């Protein structure tokens, strides 16, 4: 119940902030930066990539310490089995981080390039603000995936059952991350398509 109340308060605060920014002659952040369709799509992709990376940062240590389980997000559906080794975890994570390194900063740069110079500070503030939010959401979603799978199991009562539950939760979490990565890719594709038509 508290979570719902906090969500409602947060949404109300966001609406109030947007409204106050619109009326102000010198707002903290010019919300007009969001009028650019390509900027919005790049911002969305950036947020998703950050959420996945922070989610990975939470998920990998938990899976490797609780139940060495399925980890390589890009190849998991084909290659990763419950008996995944530390090397598979490393290779999967390295493959993701190489792709992330190529996409993350370029996504922000592409987003910033479509807004006027006068809006650059506001665009940067948007990226920085949503980066923090994405990190929190990424960690929360991963912990929910693991927590729901582990509910009803105790590591002290039955370590094997707890490890299997953690493994199942990790598999679901990796599927969620894969879906978010695909959505981030599609958001960037949509952003570049919008740039061509603008």
> Tens digit of pLDDT for each residue in 8-38?
998 899 899 888 888 888 888 888 898 999 9
Does residue 13 form part of some domain? Answer: no
Of the chain, the percentage scoring pLDDT greater than 90 comes to 41
Whether 175 is covered by a domain: the verdict is: yes
In a domain, 29, yes or no: no
| Band of residue 189 on the pLDDT scale cut at 50, 70, 90 | very high
Distances in whole angstroms, Cα of residue 173 to Cα of each of 53, 148, 167: 13, 11, 10
Long-range contacts: 182-187, Cβ < 8 Å, 24+? 183/48, 184/44, 184/45, 184/48, 184/49, 184/52, 184/103, 185/45, 187/41, 187/42, 187/44, 187/45, 187/48
Q: Is the pLDDT of residue 156 over 90?
A: no
**Domain contains 25:** no
Average pLDDT of every residue of the chain:
84
Is residue 50 included in any domain, yes or no?
A: yes
Please report whether residue 8 resides in a domain. Answer: no
In a domain, 7, yes or no: no
pLDDT of residue 83 exceeding 80, the answer is no
71 domain residue, yes or no: yes
pTM of the model: 0.77
How many domains does the structure of the chain reveal? Answer: 1
Sign of CA dihedral 187, 189, 190, 191: positive
Range of the domain at 64: 37-197
For the ranges 46-60, 77-91, 158-172, the lowest mean pLDDT is seen at 77-91
């Amino acid at each position: 119940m508290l979570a719902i109340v906090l969500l409602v308060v947060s949404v109300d605060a966001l609406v109030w902030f947007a409204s106050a920014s619109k009326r102000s002659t010198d707002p903290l952040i010019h919300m007009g930066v969001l009028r650019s369709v390509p900027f919005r799509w790049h911002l969305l992709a950036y947020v998703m990539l950050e959420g996945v990376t922070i989610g990975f940062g939470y998920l990998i240590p938990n899976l490797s310490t609780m139940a060495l389980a399925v980890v390589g997000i890009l190849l998991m559906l084909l290659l990763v089995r419950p008996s995944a080794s530390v090397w598979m975890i490393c290779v999967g994570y390295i493959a993701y981080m190489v792709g992330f390194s190529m996409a993350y900063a370029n996504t922000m740069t592409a987003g910033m390039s479509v807004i006027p110079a006068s809006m650059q500070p506001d665009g940067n503030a948007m990226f920085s603000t949503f980066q923090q939010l994405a990190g929190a959401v990424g960690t929360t979603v991963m912990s929910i995936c693991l927590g729901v799978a582990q509910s009803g199991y105790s590591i002290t009562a039955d370590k094997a059952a707890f490890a299997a539950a953690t493994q199942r939760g990790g598999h679901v979490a990796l599927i969620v991350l894969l879906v978010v990565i695909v959505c981030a890719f599609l958001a960037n594709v949509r952003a570049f398509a919008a740039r061509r038509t603008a």
